[in-house]
Structure 1
Amino acid sequence: MKKRLFTPLKEEEIKELQVGDIVYLSGDVYTARDKAHNRIIEYTITDAEEDIPIEKGAVLYHCGPLVRKNSTGGGEIIAAGPTTSSRMEATTPQVIETLRIRGIIGKGGMGIATREALQKYGCVYFAIPGGAAVLAAIRIKAVKAVYWADLGMAEAVWHLLVEDFGPLVLGIDAHGNSLYEEINEEATRKVLASTTNPN
C-alpha cells in the first residue's frame, strides 16, 4: 500500500505501517553515519545529550551526501545515496533509545538488536534503493543546517527538508516483522524444495 507521511511521525502512524508498504516522506530528515552515531553514544555516556543536534522523534537517514556550496553560501545536495545500514548495527539500538527516533532510512536492512529496539520504542526501518543517489537528491528541497562539520562532509549531520522522498519500502515494522527475514525464509523454502524434489 502507498502512503504519504509527514514528519514528525506520530506513534499511531508508525504502528499502522506494515512491511512492504511503499512510503513517500515529507518534512525534516537528519543524515547520520558511523561517526555521528558514535558521537551520539559518547554524548549520552557523558550526560551531554542536550548537545545532540537531532530532535527527539526524528527520522535518520544513513547517508553521506555530496554537498556543493551554492551562491548564497548555503549547501546544495548533489547526491544522497544510502549507506549500508548494517555498519551502524552496533550503535543503532542505543541511538533509538536515546533519541526516541521514529524512522530510519537506509539500505540492506538491520540486525536482530535493532529490530528489537524498533519494536520496543516504536520506530520503523525504511529501505531506499541504492544506486539512485541523484534521484534521491532531487527530493531534497533544502539544507536547513549542518552539525558536527568537523566529522567531514560525509559524516556530518545534515538537517534536510525533503518532499515526497521515496519510494521507500518499509523493511522492518514496529511490531518486529522484517521483510528481509520473510524473503530469506521464502528463498530457503524454495531452495530446499528444489533439492528434495528436482522434478
Structure 2
Amino acid sequence: MRKLEMPITEEIARELKAGEMVELSGIIYTGRDAAHKRFVAAIENGEELPFNPDGQGIYYVGPTPSKPGQAIGSAGPTTSYRMDDLTIPLLEKGLRIMIGKGKRADHVIDGMKKYGAVYLAAIGGAGAYISDSIKECEVIAYDDLGAEAVRKLRVEGLKLTVAIDASGNNIYETGRKKYEKK
C-alpha cells in the first residue's frame, strides 16, 4: 500500500496506477455538486476559490452531523458523475485527486490525463469506517449548503483505491472485462 501525504505533485499523481491501494494523510477538501457550481462560477468570474486546488484533493461527500467527541459524522462517498460537468475547471487549476464512488465521464478522464490527476474510489456504504480516518473537520465555505458546505478535513491513513489513473487506466473497465463471458 502506497502512503500519500497531501498535497501531491503532478509527478506523484502520474506515478499512481489503477488498482493500486493508497493510504492518504494530510489536508483534503469536500465538495459536492452545489459547491462545484459555485466553484465554477467563481472561476468564470475571476474570483478566488475557498481553497487553492493546486496539488489538492476533493472528497465528494456530504457528511452527517458529528456526535460528541467526533470530528465528523458518517462520511460515505457521493456518486461522482454528478460532478462530471463541473470538474474540468478545477483540473485546469491543478486539482490532483478526486475521491468518490462510481464511474466518470470520458471528458473527465481526458482532463485527468491532460492535467495529471487521479480518481480514488472510497467504499460506498462505509461512511462510519471512513469517518474514523478523519481527525479534524472545519467548514470553510458555503455553510448555507448544510451537509454540502465545503469542509477542510485532516485525514490520517484514509484507505482508498486508484480507480482511474492519470493515463486513463480505469478499474471500472478493466475489472469488468476480466469477468465478461466470451
Partner of 1:88, secondary structure, is: helix
For 1:170 and 1:109, how far apart are their aligned partners in 2? 12
**After superposition, what is the alpha-carbon deviation per residue over 1:110-148, rounded to whole angstroms, capped at 9, x for unaligned?**
111110111111110000110110010010001144311
Q: Give 1:84's match in structure 2, choosing from 79, 85, 88.
A: 79
1:160 aligns with 2:170: no
Amino acid at match of 1:96: L
Ranges of 4+ aligned residues in structure 1 off by more than 6 Å: none
- Structure 1: unaligned runs, 5 residues or longer: 194-199
Partner of 1:67, secondary structure, is: coil
Once the two structures are aligned, what percentage of the paired residues are identical? 39
CA shift for structure 1 position 94: 2.2
Partner of 2:42, secondary structure, is: helix
Amino acid at match of 2:177: E
The two structures, once aligned, show a CA RMSD in angstroms of 1.6
For 1:35 and 1:180, how far apart are their aligned partners in 2? 26
1:130 matched to which residue of 2? 124
Q: Give 2:161's match in structure 1, choosing from 169, 173, 197.
A: 169
For 2:102 and 2:67, how far apart are their aligned partners in 1? 30
For 1:69 and 1:44, how far apart are their aligned partners in 2? 35
Amino acid at match of 1:86: Y
Q: Is contact 2:43–2:89 with CA below 8 Å preserved after alignment?
A: no
Matching of residues 1-199 of structure 1 within 5 Å: 2-48=1-47, 50=48, 52-55=49-52, 56-68=54-66, 76-97=71-92, 99-152=93-146, 154-166=147-159, 168-187=160-179, 190-191=180-181, 193=182
- Structure 2: unaligned runs, 5 residues or longer: none
Partner of 2:125, secondary structure, is: coil
Q: TM-score, normalised by structure 2?
A: 0.93
Q: TM-score, normalised by structure 1?
A: 0.85
Q: Is contact 2:33–2:82 with CA below 8 Å preserved after alignment?
A: yes
